[in-house]
Amino acid sequence: MKDNDKVALVTGGGRDIGRACTLELARRGYKIALTYHASADPANAAVKDIEAAGGEAIALQADLTDAAQVQQMVSDVIARFDKIDCLVHVSGGLLKRVKIAEMPLDHWKAVMDVNLTSLFMVCNAVIPHMPTGSSIVTFSSQAARDGGGGGAIAYAASKGAVMTFTRGLAKELGPDIRVNSVCPGMISTTFHDTFTVDQVRANVAASTCLKREGSADEVAKLVGYLASDEASYMTGNCVDINGGLLFS
C-alpha cells in the first residue's frame, strides 16, 4: 500500500483493461474514481471489489466525447477526493472496421472523438487539479506502430496521434507531471472478441515470441509501474506490451 494518500482517475475503468487498472492501482493504495459509458454493472462491481478489500472507490457515468459531461465528471471527482494524482485514460475504441474508400466522414470523426478528442478534454479538465509529482498514463496501441489490421485505419491514425499527444504533453508538463503511454498488442479482451476473428487471433498469438495473447492484468501491472514513483525518470515514453510481436 505505497500510495494510500493518492487519488487515481481511470477512464473506462469498469471492464477489461480498465477494470484491471483500477484494481491494480487500488492494490497499490490509490483511492479510485473510475468512469464508464454504458457498463454500469461491471463498473459498480469493480467498486464493490475495491471496497471489499478495504479501499475507497466511486464509479461515475460519463460520455467522454461530450465536453460538459467531462467537466461534470471531473468536478464530481474533486468534490469527493479534492485532487487527482494519477490519470489513466483507457477509454477508446475501434467502433467498427471500415476501409477508407467506404468510410463516411462521420465514422472518421467518431473514432477521432472517442480516442483522441476525449483524451484532450479529460486532460484539459484534470491537469489543473493535479499536484506536482502526479502522472498521466495514456493508451495508444500496437496499431499506432504498424497501421492496424484491415478496416482499422481510422483507429490506427487516432492511436498514432495519442502517441504524439503524449510526447508533447510530457514536454509541456515536465518537470511537474510525468506523461507516458502504453501500447498494447494482442490482449485477450472483449475488444478482440468483438473485432478480431478467431483465426486471426490465433495467428497473431503464434507470431509472438511468447506464443500467446497477453492479459489485462499484465497490462495493468505496467500501468501501475508507469503511474508510480518507481518510474520517476520516465516521461514521454510509448511503451510496447505485445509479447515480442513488434519491436520498436
For residues 158 and 208, is the Cβ–Cβ distance under 8 A?
no
C-alpha 183/C-alpha 238 separation (Å) is 6
DSSP state of 183: E
pLDDT at residue 3, as a whole number: 63
Task: Give me the domains of the chain, ranges plus CATH numbers.
Answer: 7-185+215-241 (3.40.50.720)
Helices (H), 94-152: 105-112, 118-126, 143-146
Given the residues 30, 155, 225, 233, select the one marked as catalytic: 155
Query: pTM for this structure?
Result: 0.96
Active site residue 155: yes
- List, edge to edge, every strand of the sheet that includes 238-241: 57-61, 31-36, 7-11, 86-89, 135-139, 178-184, 238-241
Successive 10-residue mean pLDDT values, the chain, 248 residues: 82 95 97 95 96 97 98 98 98 95 98 98 98 98 95 98 98 98 93 82 94 97 97 98 94
pLDDT at residue 2, as a whole number: 60
